[in-house]
Amino acid sequence: MTAFFYDLIFVLPVFVLAISNIMVYLYVPENTKICYAAALIILACAFSLKHIKGRLKFILPGVTFMLVFGIILVQENGMRMQFVADNFWFLWILLITLASFAAGLMIAENRKCRLAAAFFVLAVMIYLMVRGPLPDKLQSAVAFLFLVFVVADEVQRSWEKSGYTERKGHIVSVAPFIILLGLIIYLVPAPEKPYDWNFAKVIMKRISDGVKYAGRMINSGKEDYAGVMGFKENGTYFGNLYVEDETIMRLSTGSNAGRVIYLSGRIMDDFDGREWKNLNILENHDNILDAIETYTAVDIYDRKNNFDYYKRIDLNVEYDEFNTSYYFAPSKLVRFTPGSEKEGAVISGSEIKALTHLGYGTKYELSYFRMNSQNKDFRLLTDNVTPIDRESWDRGCYALNYKDDQGYSYEDYQAHIERIYEYYLPDTQLSEKAEEYLEKLSEGAESDTEVLERLDKVLSGFKYTLNPGELPEKIKSPADFVDYILFEKQEGYCTHYATTFVIMARSMGLPARFVQGFLVPLTGRQPYHVRSSMSHAWAEVYIDGLGWIQYEPTPGISYDNSWNFMPRNTEDGEKSGIVSEEKNHEDEPLPVPELEDENKTVNWRGILIPAGLIALFLLGFILADRALQRRRLKKMKPARRAAVYCRYGIRLLAVLGLKRSKGETLEEYRIRASKELFEDDGYEYEEEEKACLNFIELYENILYAKEAPAGEMLDEIREDITGVFALISERKGRLMAFLAKVGTTLN
C-alpha cells in the first residue's frame, strides 16, 4: 500500500494539472464532470494494472471496456459512428490520462525527473505571476502541493533517521498534513492585496511542524507507549524502562468516579516465562458480558442495596498527541461509542481496537461500573456468589438494555465463561518451593479471595524500581519467573508484580489475566490529564458468577477507591440507577414522500445491455480463470494438488463462519469445526454428514508426510469439498453456495 500511495502522491498532481490545462483546448461536453469522471476511471484502471497483483488486475479495465462498448452498442443503428465522432474527446482524455500517469510514475521513481519537473512547475508559476495570466486557485494549490512533496522527499533523503527509515513510508505519512494545508490554501478566499512574506513564513512553519510531528509518530513505533511500561505490538517484555511525561489523553467524568480510574488497553493471557502475548483474539464483547455478569450477580445477592457494590459512571475521553490503535477504557464496560464511524471499534476479547490508527483529536464516550471491591464488606459478595441462571441473566440484560440477538444471550454468556477458562486458566505449575510458600500463605484462610488479598499484600511489600535489569537467561517458564521474583529479586515494576500475581492465582485454579493501560489519579480540575508516566500494569482474577475483580500488587501504588456501605436498617429499596434510554420520537420530523415523475421513462435497453456485457465479461473471466487453475492443477504433483484442494476446502469453511484462528493447529481446527457444525445445535447428525471434515486430517497427513497422496485420496478430498458445498447450501442458501463456488479461488 505504501508504494500505491507514494505513486498517487506524484501522479495525481500531474494528472490534475494536465487535464485542467489541456481540456481548455478540447471540444468537450458542457458538463465537464463527465470528462473528469471518465478521466478518473481511466486513472483507476491504470493504477489497477500497476499495483494489483495477479489476474484480478484486469477486472476493472475489462469492466470499463465493456461499459464503453455497451454504451456505443445501445445507440440506434446508423447513429453509432456519429456518436463516436461526437464523443471523440474521450480518446483525448484517454491519451492525456495515460500520458500523465506515465509521467507521474517517471517522476515518482526517478529523482532527476522529479527535480526537473519541480523546477519547471516553479518556473511556470513565477512566470505566470509576473507576466500573467494568473493560474486559477485549483491549479495553484495542486502545483504548491507538488512542490512541497518534492521538497519533503529531498528532506527525507538528507535526514538521518533511526528506527523506521523507509523514505516512501515517511512521505506517505506526512501526506495528509500537506494535503490539508493545500486544501486550506484552496478554500481561503484570495485577498485583493497580495500576501506578505510573513504569511509564507507561517505556512513553512506549519509544514515543518507537521513533518516533525509525523516523523516523531513514525520513529516512536506503532504505539507511542511502547517503551514506557514494556508494552509493544506483539507482546510485553521485561527490562529497564524510561519515563516520559507528556499529556496524551484528557478525561472528563462525573463526580462519583472516585479517586482513580484504571484505563485498560491490552489484556494478555499467554505467558512463556519471558514475554506476555495475547491468544484470545476472537471478536466477542467479553467486557460488556462481564459487566452484565457483575450486575446480575449483585442483583441476585442484594438487589435493594446494589449501589453499595457498584456505581455507573459516564466517561469522555479525548486523545492529545497520542499515536495508537487502541481505545483505553475501564473494565466493566456498559456502553462504548467511538467518535467517528471511520475510526470504528472492534472488541477482540476484552480489548477495544480501532479500524485505523488513532491520534490527536480522537474522541469517544463510554459508561462503566466503578466497583467497590476494596471495601471490606465486598468480600461477603465474592465469597457467596450464586450461579446465574437464565432468568436472572435475562433480567440483567433487560435492565442494561441488551438483547439476545446482539450477542448477549445466556448462551453467549456460557460461551464467555468457556473462553475465560480456556484462555485465562492454562495448566500452570509452580516449583516445589513456590507451592510450599503458597500453601503456607493459605493457612487459616477461609476463601480464595482471602489468599489473593494476602498475596497482594506480600507483593506490595517488595521494592519498586524502573531499573531491575534484564531477566536472567535461566528463566524459561512461568514457574522460573515466580521463583526469581519471590525468592531472588524481590524488586521490579508493575509488570513484574502483576505477572507474578497472575501466575500464582492461576496455580490456585483461578482464571487470571495481565492488564496494561493507565492508572489515572483524579486530582485537580477537569478535564483530567492522562500523562505517559501514568502507564501501568495490574492483575485481574475471575470470580465465577461475579466477573473480573481487579488487584493491585505493585509496591507504592495504593489508592482507596472504595465507599461506605449504606445502613441496613431501612425497608425502603434503593433505586437501581439504570435508566432505560428510550428515544423520544415526538420531535423527529415526519418523512416527506417523494412525488413520482409521470413523464419519466426508464431506458431499460441502455441499462440492460451494458450490464449484460459486464456480467458476460465477469462470467467469462471467472470461467477462464478456473480453466487456467485446473490446467495448472493437472501439471502439479499429487501432494501439491491435494494440498491445494485442502486449502480450498478450508477457505470454503470460512463461509460458514469457521475461519481458522492464528496459531490454531489443523487438529484443533477440525475439532472446533466439528463441534460448531454438528454438536452445538443438539441435532444428531449422520456420520456421513460429519465426514466432510475428514480432508483437514488428510491435509495434516500431507503436510507432515504421514501419508503420501494417491488417486483415492484426491477423490476423497474432492468428495469432502462437495459435502462442504452441501452444508453451505443447506445453512446459507443456494445463492451463497453459488457465490462461494464462484468467488473462492483454487490456488
State the number of CA atoms in the 13 A half-sphere of 138 facing the CB. 10
Pair 439, 520: CB distance under 8 Å: no
| Number of other residues whose CB lies within 10 A of the CB of residue 38 | 19
Measured in whole angstroms, the distance separating CA 293 from the mean position of its chain's CA atoms is: 26
CA dist list (Å): 595 to 204, 588, 592, 604, 726: 53, 21, 9, 21, 47
Given a cut of 50, whether residue 277 has pLDDT beyond it is: yes
- Mean pLDDT estimate for the chain: 79
347 versus 459: the higher-pLDDT residue is 459
pLDDT winner (highest mean) among 208-222, 374-388, 496-510, 598-612:
496-510
Lowest-confidence region among 194-203, 661-670, 717-726: 194-203
What is the residue whose three cell numbers read 481446527? 669
Q: Any residues with CB less than 8 A from the CB of 242 and at least 6 apart, and which?
A: 227, 228, 466
pLDDT band at 121; cut points 50, 70, 90: confident
Grid cell for residue 86 = 461526437
Q: What is the pLDDT of residue 510?
A: 94
Pair 375, 564: CB distance under 8 Å: yes
Task: Classify 262 as helix, strand or coil.
Answer: strand
28 versus 699: the higher-pLDDT residue is 699
State pTM to two decimals.
0.50
What tens digit of pLDDT does each residue of 356-390 get?
778 878 899 999 999 998 888 888 888 888 899 99
Q: What is the mean pLDDT of residues 195-216?
A: 54
Q: What is the mean pLDDT of residues 714-727?
A: 84
CA Rg value for the chain = 32
Instruction: Report the alpha-carbon distance of residue 317 to residue 253 in Å, rounded.
Output: 9
pLDDT band at 27; cut points 50, 70, 90: low
Task: Give residue 469's region: left, alpha or beta (phi > 0; psi -120 to 50).
Answer: left
Task: Classify 336 as helix, strand or coil.
Answer: strand
Instruction: Report the alpha-carbon distance of residue 285 to residue 521 in Å, rounded.
Output: 27
Q: What is the pLDDT of residue 9?
A: 79
Q: Any residues with CB less than 8 A from the CB of 363 and at least 6 apart, and which?
A: 316, 317, 318, 319, 339
Q: What residue segments make up the domains of the chain, in order of their start?
A: 2-219, 247-551, 636-743
Pair 181, 210: CB distance under 8 Å: yes
Instruction: Report the alpha-carbon distance of residue 587 to residue 603 in Å, rounded.
Output: 41
Q: What is the mean pLDDT of residues 686-692?
A: 73
pLDDT winner (highest mean) among 206-215, 409-418, 639-648:
409-418
Helices 432-441 and 448-460 cross at an angle (nearest 10°) of 110
Grid cell for residue 234 = 506483539
Pair 244, 321: CB distance under 8 Å: no
Q: Any residues with CB less than 8 A from the CB of 536 and at least 6 apart, and which?
A: 229, 262, 494, 516, 517, 518, 519, 554, 557
Given a cut of 70, whether residue 196 has pLDDT beyond it is: no
In angstroms, the first-to-last Cα distance of the chain is 23
What tens digit of pLDDT does each residue of 529-564 get?
888 888 899 999 999 999 999 999 999 887 888 888
Q: What is the pLDDT of residue 547?
A: 92
> Which H or E run contains 492?
strand 491-492
The 3 state secondary structure assigned to 359-411 is CCCCEEEEEEEEECCCCHHHHHHHHCCCCCCHHHHHHHHHHCCCCHHHCCCHH
Q: Any residues with CB less than 8 A from the CB of 543 and at least 6 apart, and which?
A: 382, 385, 449, 549
Q: Any residues with CB less than 8 A from the CB of 105 and at least 6 apart, and which?
A: 7, 10, 11, 50
Instruction: Report the alpha-carbon distance of residue 308 to residue 305 in Å, rounded.
Output: 6
Grid cell for residue 315 = 466517561
Which DSSP category does 190 fall into? P
pLDDT winner (highest mean) among 49-53, 206-210, 409-413:
409-413
Which among 71, 75, 53 has a CA at the least distance from the CA of 63?
A: 71
Q: What is the pLDDT of residue 295?
A: 93
Sign, Cα dihedral of 300, 539, 280, 531: positive
Given a cut of 70, whether residue 242 has pLDDT beyond it is: no
Q: What is the mean pLDDT of residues 486-510?
A: 92
| Alpha-helical regions (H) of 260-375 | 286-302
Length of the chain measured in residues: 747
Phi, psi dihedrals of residue 116, rounded to the nearest 5°:
-65, -45
Instruction: Report the alpha-carbon distance of residue 27 to residue 704 in Å, rounded.
Output: 67
Lowest-confidence region among 80-84, 177-181, 396-400, 475-479: 80-84
Instruction: Report the alpha-carbon distance of residue 515 to residue 509 in Å, rounded.
Output: 19
pLDDT band at 582; cut points 50, 70, 90: very low
Pair 515, 502: CB distance under 8 Å: no
Q: What is the pLDDT of residue 570?
A: 47
Pair 163, 216: CB distance under 8 Å: no
Q: Greatest CA separation found in the chain?
A: 102
Pairing of strands 463-464, 491-492: parallel
233 versus 133: the higher-pLDDT residue is 133
Given a cut of 50, whether residue 591 has pLDDT beyond it is: no
Grid cell for residue 685 = 447428525
Grid cell for residue 245 = 511525561
Helices 410-423 and 390-399 cross at an angle (nearest 10°) of 100
Q: What is the pLDDT of residue 590?
A: 35
Which DSSP category does 425 fall into? -
